[in-house]
Amino acid sequence: MKRQRPLINIDPDIQGGTPCFAGTRVPVKSLFDYLARGRSLDYFLEQFPSVKRQQATAVLERAEKLISRGPAAA
């Protein structure tokens, strides 16, 4: 079985423990902030080249799954 690399890293020495894309110093919240302001995923990736497209899409897919579960799963 292939081991998956983590999508998100939480390290008190990186951005004060803010959840960041693994292998970067880019907070995951930044992606959601950009999208909420009407920016595209492509624009976000241009601004943060250390974040790979597959990382960003995987985080969005995971968030969608969590949201789809509804309040009973939270």
Whole-model pTM: value is 0.83
Q: Which domain does 31 fall in, by range?
A: 16-69
pLDDT at position 72 is 60
CATH number, domain containing residue 47: 1.10.10.10
Residue 10 domain flag: no
Helix residue ranges per DSSP H, the chain: 28-36, 41-47, 53-69
pLDDT at 3: 60
**pLDDT on residue 69:** 82
pLDDT along the chain (74 residues), means of 10: 78 96 97 98 98 96 89 57
User: What pLDDT, on the 0 to 100 scale, is given for residue 5?
Assistant: 77
Query: What's the pLDDT score for residue 1?
Result: 53
Task: Categorise residue 23: left if φ over 0, alpha if ψ from -120 to 50, beta otherwise.
Answer: left
Q: Which helix (H) or strand (E) holds 41?
A: helix 41-47
Q: How many domains does one find in the chain?
A: 1
The Cα–Cα gap between 68 and 65 comes to 5
